[in-house]
Structure 1
Amino acid sequence: MFRQKIIYVFLGIVVLSLSLTDKNVEATSNPNFQFHSEVALLIDQKSGEILYDQLAEQRMYPASITKIITGIIAIEQGNLEDIVKVSKEATEVIGTRVYLLEDEEVTLEKLVQGLLINSGNDAGTAIAEHMDGSEEAFAKRMNDFVQEEIGVENTNFTNPHGLFDEDHYTTALDMARITQYAMKNETFQEIVSTKDMEWIGEGWETTLYNHHRLLWDYEGTTGVKNGFVSQSGYTLVTSAERDDQEFIAVTLKSANARTAYQDTIQLLNYGFEHFETGKVPENKQFFSDDGEEYIVQEDVYFTQMLDEQIEYELTPANKLAIVGDNDRTIKKVALEQIEVEPILTKAELEEKEAEQGLFTRFWDWVSQLFSK
């Protein structure tokens, strides 16, 4: 079997392997964390690989981390320069607010900032009504978006802000995938990483301070959202980056904010201390034993173990297998075959040129015949 070897030395422990083209996941042992949160998850933001999983597919109530999807939909499918006229219904939403007034006119961008930085429930309702006329209609957009654009299947939203509803639920894994998607958007990144901003509204003038405290307290934090309702407990989604290494941590149903942050820090420390992401660059070439050429069609990210020797193998199905120690398949990737013109001998080349010349003379004769 063809094998091209490239050896890296990395920090790491065994990871769950997730294929771009295959759905088989290799389960591995987890460290013995002492968590206060009922649910916990850590993924590599670039590769998407799961590094720690505690009940990550259990159905849970998200509370205000719901606003991650509301924000990214408004950014991608709305016009941030739109002027939104605030309804009476929006001003009456309970919970955390930015104190919008009835008939106040606010840009959609400012509402998204109030939603994600200050967790304004009234801003969420105003966004939903502006885009779809009602919270119910916007919830349908939310569900269609996460299923069709992101590909999550265990989530159902009934409102844009996360106030409790029996039918408003998600999983830690789905929220990690939603966040992974949202953090690719530069405008979303900028807003959720904003520590403070001046808010000048008709009913409230103040400085908004981001509710995600790790932006101040944990090096490399880049966002994204916290939440609380009594039925969900404290929920927290966090992204952090150091030296081009990026992680997303999700903790759900903590008893208080302090333990949610402690659990998140524990997860992120685990990621930064033990893992690093590798990359197979776009258009990298691979050759089979019989000389056929293949390329990777896009950048491929994968997560490795400590001191792991990485080998690239071409499978019988002509996929690229990224293989670690003990023949552990980390990821399989579809390849594109490059068609190469065969190299002709001098005699074959002369014969081909003669055939082409004969063909050209024939069509010249036909053209002259029909032109008379």
Structure 2
Amino acid sequence: MNRYHLLSLPKSLLSKRFVAVIVLINLLFMFSLSSFAAAAPEGAPTLDAQSAVLMDAESGQILYQSNADVAKPPASMSKMMTEYLVSRAVKQGKLNWEDIVSVGENAAKQIGSRIFLAEGDKHTIKELYIAMAVGSANDATTQLAETVAGSEEAFAKLMNDTAAELGMKESHFINSTGLDRADMPEKFRPASIEGETVMSARDAATLAYHILKDEPEFLETAKIQKYKFRERDKKAIDNWNWMLGSNKDNPNLRKFAYEGVDGLKTGHTSSAGNCFTGTALRDGTRLIAVVMGVPGNSNDGKRFLETAKLFDYGFKNFEKKTIIQAKATIPEYETLPIKKGVATKLPIVTATDITILIPKGVAVETSIQEVKATQEPLMAPIKLGDKVGTATYKYTDPSTAEEKVVSIDLIAVEDIDKASWWRLMFRAIGNFFSNLFNGIVDLF
């Protein structure tokens, strides 16, 4: 029975006791809402977006999330996957940036943002790649996809396989561009792939994370402000990313420019709304921000203002903190047993540190879960600096209150040479009598 039904009841039924109960229920409801609000990270922004994520680009740590795992149309943000796969194909030697390709029918028939390629036109992979990254050109994107995989449908399957490989759990691609199925040339709509293209905000951030890790040179293309595709073109392609820090000198885009922003990809369709995956670097810290489903039109720039709230939150409220030091011993696990060495115990330390972003002034406690050797048992000889095991730690992420488990390599602190047969023989004799004595003692 809801409150509207209650209002329709006869007044005689609304006794003082009944009204008191209703008031109490309302108070409890309001209290629960305030408690929920209090649980949100201090200073977290209120966004006009259907979903959003803020991620540390170094570790992949989530600093803020809202509906992060809801699969939504990403529009042209899906081109990030196309960019990733084209760049990877070049690195693998399957393509060369200077390869010249002939434009096919599918690319020439694309709608939306494009550079008006005609069937039979010839351009280099690099030219088409810049047109895709800077101008979000659907025709250039489609031609690149067909060049990599033979057809756009085959490329979409490659996109889906790669999404699974990268841990993108809420993503599905039907084409290289992010266009809805109805907006694709009818002849080239994928018959073997169902549905529409969708991606969650977390997946978009994850994809950006892998681009920055595996293809960092992409930022040199992503930050190009203008690009003249053909010599005869009267107007250069403008970068749809108005948030580029270099736009601070552009009077029309100055209010959107954000210091440190040098990528990545915008998106807009009627079904997706306004979307943006951005990255910014300040004082050695790089963040990735994603907003999806921002209302308004693609020319009002609101998606960039919402993204700025995320960046402000990250840069102003978080600091790097090393929770595990490099070259540190682990209490109660200072050594590992070793066989056939001049010593029977190998001193160990952590190989590297573990550094995370945490809210300023907040402490993080870690607990050791497991210390494990690379092999059981470790066998001499062992050299200084050799990896000999791993340590697994657990901590609570103060940003999301999620339990996190991280592992770090353990290395040898000193050389342990292989013992001579003479030493091993006397050690075995000593162990025999020691075990025998302990066995006798245990009888009494």
TM-score with structure 1 length normalisation? 0.77
Asked if the contact 1:46–1:301 (Cα under 8 Å) also holds between the matched residues in 2, the reply is: no
Alignment counterpart, residue 175 of structure 2, candidates 154, 159, 162: 159
Whole-Å separation in 2 of the counterparts to 1:350 and 1:163 = 72
1:42-74 deviation per Cα after TM superposition (whole angstroms, max 9, x unaligned): 111112111111111111000011111101110
Q: Percent of pairs identical after alignment? A: 28
Alignment counterpart, residue 352 of structure 1, candidates 401, 406, 423: 423
Whole-Å separation in 2 of the counterparts to 1:307 and 1:180 = 27
Match runs of 1:323-362 below 5 Å:
331-338=404-411, 352=423
Report the 3-state secondary structure (helix = DSSP H, G, I; strand = E; otherwise coil) of the residue aligned with 2:144.
Answer: helix
Alignment counterpart, residue 273 of structure 1, candidates 316, 319, 323: 316
The amino acid that maps onto 2:209 is: Q
Specify whether residues 297 and 72 from structure 1 end up closer, same or farther in structure 2 by C-alpha distance, changes over 3 A only.
farther
Aligned to 2:40: 29
Aligned to 2:205: 176
* More relative contact order, 1 or 2 (CA 8 Å, 6+ apart): 1
Match runs of 1:58-69 below 5 Å:
58-69=70-81
**After the TM superposition, which of the residue ranges 55-64 and 295-304 deviates more from structure 2?**
295-304
Higher alpha-carbon Rg: 2
Aligned to 2:143: 126
1:264-314 deviation per Cα after TM superposition (whole angstroms, max 9, x unaligned): 111110011101233579963433325314455566441222123455653
Report the 3-state secondary structure (helix = DSSP H, G, I; strand = E; otherwise coil) of the residue aligned with 1:247.
Answer: strand
Alignment counterpart, residue 369 of structure 2, candidates 296, 315, 322: 315
1:115 aligns with 2:132: yes
Asked if the contact 1:85–1:106 (Cα under 8 Å) also holds between the matched residues in 2, the reply is: yes
Specify whether residues 103 and 275 from structure 1 end up closer, same or farther in structure 2 by C-alpha distance, changes over 3 A only.
same
Whole-Å separation in 2 of the counterparts to 1:342 and 1:179 = 42
The amino acid that maps onto 1:276 is: E
Asked if the contact 1:200–1:206 (Cα under 8 Å) also holds between the matched residues in 2, the reply is: no
Whole-Å separation in 2 of the counterparts to 1:321 and 1:157 = 35
1:219 aligns with 2:259: yes
Specify whether residues 247 and 336 from structure 1 end up closer, same or farther in structure 2 by C-alpha distance, changes over 3 A only.
closer
1:46 aligns with 2:117: no
The amino acid that maps onto 1:69 is: M
1:198-252 deviation per Cα after TM superposition (whole angstroms, max 9, x unaligned): 32267x4532221100002111101111111111111111111100111111111
Asked if the contact 2:323–2:364 (Cα under 8 Å) also holds between the matched residues in 1, the reply is: no
- Structure 1 residue 116, shift from structure 2 partner: 0.8
Query: In angstroms, what is the RMSD of aligned CA positions?
Result: 3.2
Whole-Å separation in 1 of the counterparts to 2:295 and 2:239 = 21
TM-score with structure 2 length normalisation? 0.65
Structure 2 gap ranges (5+): 1-38, 182-194, 248-256, 336-346, 372-390, 427-444
The amino acid that maps onto 2:117 is: L
Alignment counterpart, residue 276 of structure 2, candidates 231, 236, 239: 236
Aligned to 1:71: 83
